[in-house]
Amino acid sequence: MKTEKTVKTIKIDVDKCNGCRACEVVCSAFHAQPRYSSVNPARARIRVIRDPLADIFVPVYAGEYTAAECAGRDRYTIDGKQYEECAFCRSVCPSRDLFKEPDSGLPLKCDMCESDPTLQEPLCVTWCLADALVYEERTALAEKAPAPADVDVGLEALANEHGWAKVLDAVTRMSVKMGRES
């Protein structure tokens, strides 16, 4: 079973980026408290990896926080240009300074400029007159939640393996936690 949901995408064209940092500027200003009261690219949820003499310009968005760094690293070469280690990764990762509040070290994450009222498009996109960043919304079909019968099957499988007592215990614990969080 599938349902409709909105997928928000920012299309990044690195060939059009020229490293002006307008996206960093406006993102950090938008997220300042109060809004726009200060600017500081180090607090932006988008950073531009730029090496003009090597013709490298990569806008990268802040993604999920991760407690542990990857076991390995990647390093891309595209069209003869060697990109820095982990260049395209969005993670807020212990191995680098990217996407951390300068003073507290707390992770930053792109929230697509969530605000009330909703903006027409994310601000980094609006301020990028080079069109390196283009916003796109599309509807996609997502898996619908499984039917109750399917859940029964799953639980039974768990009970077979661990015994009902343990499964009930876990369900109680989790529902308490969920109640706290919601």
Partner 1 sequence: MRYAETGFNLEVDLTRGNIERVPTDPRLTELHLGGLGTNARMMWDRVPPETDPFSPQNLLIFGTGLLTGTPAPACNRTIVTTISPQTKLFAFSMMGGFFGPELKHAGYDKIVIRGKSPELVYLWITDGKVEIRPAGHLQGLGTLESAEVIRQELGEPHAAVASIGLAGENKVWFASIEQGRSSASRMGCGAIMGDKNLKAIAVRGSGDLDVARPAEFIRLCNEALKYIEHRNAHPIEGVMPIVAGLGSPQEMAVHDEKWHTENFVWGNARVRRKDFWQPEVAQKWTETMERMRTRLLSCHNCPLKCGAAISVDTRLCSYMMKCFSKLTYTMGAFSDLDFGLRIAQKATEHGVDAFTCPQTMAFAVELYEDGILTDADMPGFPQKSEDRFYWLLDKIVRREGIGDVLADGTYWAGQRIGKGADKYAHNCIRKTEQLPLKLGMLNPIYFLMYCTGEKASITQIEGNFPQAPFETKEESAAFVEDWPHVPDDRYKQWFLEWELRGEKSIPSYPPIDATCEIVNWQEMMHYIDDSIGICAGLSSFPLKPPFHIHNLPELISAGSGLQLDEAALVKLTRRNRNLVRANNLRRGLTRADEKPPEDHWKKRFPELEKKLLDGYYEFKGWNSDGVPTRETLCELGLDYVADDLERRGILKATP
Binding site for ligand SF4 (CB under 6 A): 17-23, 27, 30, 45-46, 48, 59, 61, 110-113, 122-124, 127-128, 130, 132-133
Judged by CB under 8 A, the residue of 1, 4, 6, 37 near partner 1 is 37
Beta partners for residue 78, in sequence order: 81
- Could you say whether residue 87 binds partner 1 (CB under 8 A)? no
Q: Which of 2, 4, 6, 52 binds partner 1 (CB under 8 A)?
A: 52
Q: How far is the CB of 19 from ligand SF4 (least distance, A)?
A: 5
Token output for 18: 């020229």
| Nearest C-alpha neighbor of 43 from the set 58, 52, 33, 53 | 33
66 phi, psi to nearest 5 deg: -130, 135
When the beta carbons of 61 and 127 are compared against partner 1, the nearer one is 127
**Cβ atoms within 10 Å, residue 30:** 20
What is the distance between the alpha carbons of residues 80 and 101, in angstroms, rounded to a whole number?
Answer: 34
Binding site partner of 122, from partner 1, ligand SF4, none, Cβ cut-off 5-8 A by kind? ligand SF4
- Dihedral (Cα; 97, 104, 116, 3), 10-degree rounding: 50
- Chain Cα centroid distance, residue 1: 27
Q: Does 135 engage in binding with partner 1 (CB under 8 A)?
A: no
Residues of the shown chain interacting with partner 1 in the complex, contacts defined by CB under 8 A: 18-22, 25-26, 29, 32, 34-43, 50-53, 55, 57, 84, 102, 126-127, 129-130
